[in-house]
Structure 1
């Protein structure tokens, strides 16, 4: 099979390093976005998480506006808006507003999960469980609010009508794959942490895809974690910050912040071999440029993804920018070797 050029993007969780302020985190997000724009990244998406002290991306739409003001061409979007937490009407208003402020730069990724624990989900929306079941119809409502045809409706979002805001379905299961295929929408799979159903979901999405007005052929975004440094040993050291966060998540411990990196100790190496850790970090590519390039190439051969969405949980902002720079070099090298199919 011919290879193809692959788009590369960033998923931002706005993690809080120990000793930093939240204001500093948001400034570092801007710094990363400005560099990403220069490095050829297509977009930066912001996750929605609640009641997680170490993750400060609770309001994607606000962060999108903040970063959009400091950049000029990078696409910005939600990765995603957790729709059961929100009114479809309000989502259309906010993203319609963003798209008018920053034309042709705003994406709307929609997910079904709460982005938090059950008590917090209930605090956000007491009807959360019911809202989860209405996810497909809520997507249709948002599409309707963005449609020019909604101008004759009683319930309107006038500033959104006819405005171009691409919608993406996010998921980590086969049900989200079926929904994205049925609606003919691009599909982003959260394989940066939910790895088990990746290949089943992609197969279902591609096999059952129904062309739509917005998309003629399936479009797949896959999530990965990537930490790239000058050497494998240095990358492994930088990875310990994110690895400790994963360990805390799986052990039910709340991370208050991202810890500084340490050497990869024997105990950490042992914990890293635990089946649950290995499963969750299966697509975490850590090492030098050469090491990560081989891992990425293998992943792309297996998934045939159209786009990689890269998450990098790191303590130091400068190291993260360096990692993003090296990863962009990897993708440019891979794409230079690619043969673009003639359609």
Structure 2
């Protein structure tokens, strides 16, 4: 197993039943502060729209909120769905963040809508044209951040020369080709789309071309983690995740629901082929069980960094899960030292 693997968090600012988006912002900041203490490397926020259970829609604004309340943990987007936006505006937003919080801001870019097609059209009516232009728009952002852009007719002056590294996000093999060609780090959404993970990693490594930002390939993979004192407790906590994923699959998205007993119906749902495909990399259990699954995943993928997301209703239980995972990673790294 690789040694010294950074571990990071993907946050959606999930809104639990009976709470408000403001509550989720407070909890996200509390999590980021505790993650910083626990040794997490970065804290990324994902862009989603028209989902009452997810409050990270104004992603760059929330990144500023998290960065202002922390001191050293890297904060960024996992990701900004670029076809929803003007590349110039994104460069200006993240250039501003990069100046406010030097050497702490990441710009992860994806091409998915982060919502349903009707909402995507409401966000940007020419979005599909922008999807096809995604590689070119990534290049535009790189140009806006370049110090050489000062001679261009169109400038994002606040971004020029600012150190905000770009990352390409993906859930299929398409993004692997782009990340490799541009010599950018590659983050794969294996927490909900695991099917093409291994193929995408292979493509990225085989086609990687060094760039000014990156000399060698760098990969991040995201997994679901629900760690608790016992397997039974973790299984109960996971019922919130099962209900959430059912809402996503049936387009009936609701607030994060409190956990319940693992009923036969929920167990059958969790074992269905659709759920098994989507949650292949959901590490649910006590510390020993999650540690074993984590080690197996790192050995199988050889990723350079592991990112985790924990969909848990109770804030204290979620904090405990992330604390346990930090202990797991520290123990695994000490074994390899």
User: TM-score band (shorter)?
Assistant: over 0.9
Indicate the residue corresponding to 2:196 in structure 1.
197
Indicate the residue corresponding to 1:322 in structure 2.
320
Indicate the residue corresponding to 1:107 in structure 2.
106
1:82-121 equivalent positions in 2, closer than 5 A? 82-121=81-120
Indicate the residue corresponding to 2:245 in structure 1.
246
Indicate the residue corresponding to 2:276 in structure 1.
278
Which SS does the other structure have where 1:203 is aligned?
helix
Which SS does the other structure have where 1:197 is aligned?
helix
Show structure 1 runs of 5+ residues with no match: none
- Give 1:252 shift: 2.5
- Give 1:3 shift: 2.8
Deviations 1:81-127 (A, max 9, x none): 00000000000000000011000100000000000000000000001
CA distance in 2, matches of 1:192, 1:89: 30
Show structure 2 runs of 5+ residues with no match: none
User: TM-score normalised to the size of structure 1?
Assistant: 0.97
Deviations 1:193-252 (A, max 9, x none): 001100000000001100111111110000100011111111111111111111121123
Number of equivalences: 337
CA distance in 2, matches of 1:164, 1:193: 30
Corresponding position: 1:145 with 2:144:
yes
1:113-262 equivalent positions in 2, closer than 5 A? 113-255=112-254, 257-262=255-260
Indicate the residue corresponding to 1:45 in structure 2.
44
- Give 1:301 shift: 0.7
User: TM-score normalised to the size of structure 2?
Assistant: 0.99
| Ranges of 4+ aligned residues in structure 1 off by more than 6 Å | none
CA distance in 1, matches of 2:292, 2:54: 30
Corresponding position: 1:292 with 2:318:
no
Indicate the residue corresponding to 1:32 in structure 2.
31
1:298-337 equivalent positions in 2, closer than 5 A? 298-337=296-335
Give the alignment's Cα RMSD to 1 decimal. 0.8
Which SS does the other structure have where 1:210 is aligned?
coil
Which SS does the other structure have where 1:93 is aligned?
helix
- Give 1:308 shift: 0.8
- Give 1:187 shift: 0.1
CA distance in 1, matches of 2:308, 2:300: 17
